[in-house]
Amino acid sequence: MFKARFRVLPIAIVAIVFASVLASPAQAAATKYPLTVKFGGYTTKIAKKPTKIISLSPSATEIFFAIGAKSQILAVDNLSNYPAGTPTSEISAFEPNVEAILAKKPDLVLLSIDSTKAPQIRNALVKLGIPVLMEKAPATLNDVYAENTLLGRVTDRSDGAAKLNASMAKSIKVVLAKAKKSSKIRIFHELDDTYYSVTSNTFIGRVYKDFGAVNIADAASGADSSGYPQLSAEYLLKSDPQVIF
């Protein structure tokens, strides 16, 4: 019978990744503006240090806060409710509204490349003189480190980004060392109530694998095609995961 011994919220993983700063790297150079960066396959030109940023990505919002750029965030999307104190707005992360964005008069917008009509929204904002960063979901930990570094440069918080990366690397190293000493645990990462999951070919799946967990989705039908297979109730019963995320 399918019986999970533990159910762990995804925020538990976020807590590991965004642990408190444990290292103090050498001081990074201040950002010089105007600045041109490449992110998500797009080039963005930023004339001056942004102080009125709209972040339409929950993951980016967490990074901005973690690197010390909280005071530069004007508004965030309706799903960005972590960490506490985020200036949540009515703007959707999945279907952003250009008029709603313009009404807040931002000097920089971060938009997920997975948002509906993301390229069109970007083009509309850029034509009106608002720079837009297009965020692409990370595929590896190195991609996460790279995004931290880039957002640090953009906000003139390179010191904070360097400390965050050092903290993440140290925390992950400690967790991995402990994971190697423990027995492998069968896990199921639940994306929604229709049993869609993730395999070890996805970013979060690789994290589970590095932690020594056995992902039941890896052996499921369709696992190799997309990395996001839909499992059946029968498969879950048979696999009997010990932990559900």
The region, left, alpha or beta by phi > 0 then psi within -120 to 50, assigned to residue 75 is beta
Beta strands in 60-185 (DSSP E): 73-76, 108-112, 132-135
72: confidence class by pLDDT, cuts 50, 70, 90: very high
The identity of residue 5, as a single letter, is R
pLDDT value at 36 more than 90: yes
Integer Cα distance of 148 and 155 in angstroms: 11
Integer Cα distance of 93 and 175 in angstroms: 32
Q: What is the mean pLDDT of residues 188-216?
A: 87
Q: What is each CA distance from 33 to 135, 149, 155, in whole angstroms? A: 21, 16, 10
166: confidence class by pLDDT, cuts 50, 70, 90: very high
Q: Which residue has the tokens 């049993």?
A: 195
Q: What is the mean pLDDT of residues 206-224?
A: 86
CATH number of 6-14+183-244: 3.40.50.1980
Nearest to 95 by CA among 136, 137, 56, 129: 56
Give 243's DSSP letter.
E
The pLDDT value recorded for residue 192 is 80
Bigger pLDDT: 201 vs 103: 103
pLDDT > 70 in the chain, percent = 87
Q: Worst-scoring range by mean pLDDT, 3-12, 26-35, 110-119, 194-203?
A: 3-12
Strands 53-56 and 132-135: unpaired
pLDDT digits (tens, 9 = 90+) for 3-25: 444 444 454 454 555 444 444 45
CA 79, chain centre distance (Å): 13
The identity of residue 11, as a single letter, is I
pLDDT > 90 in the chain, percent = 53
The pLDDT value recorded for residue 180 is 66
Judging by beta carbons within 10 Å of its beta carbon (0-12, 13-18, 19+), is residue 186 exposed, middle or buried? middle
Integer Cα distance of 244 and 3 in angstroms: 10
Q: Coil, strand, or helix at residue 132?
A: strand
The pLDDT value recorded for residue 218 is 94
225: confidence class by pLDDT, cuts 50, 70, 90: confident
Residues, the chain: 245
2: confidence class by pLDDT, cuts 50, 70, 90: very low
Q: What is the mean pLDDT of residues 188-208?
A: 87
User: Do the first three CATH levels of 6-14+183-244 and 31-155 match, i.e. the same topology?
Assistant: yes
The pLDDT value recorded for residue 172 is 78
Q: What is the mean pLDDT of residues 167-173?
A: 85
Domain residue spans in the chain? 6-14+183-244, 31-155
Bigger pLDDT: 27 vs 76: 76
Q: What is the mean pLDDT of residues 188-215?
A: 87
pLDDT value at 26 more than 60: no
pLDDT digits (tens, 9 = 90+) for 117-129: 999 999 999 999 9
The pLDDT value recorded for residue 183 is 66
203: confidence class by pLDDT, cuts 50, 70, 90: confident
CATH of region 31-155, choose from 3.40.640.10, 3.40.50.1980, 3.30.450.370, 3.40.50.2300 = 3.40.50.1980
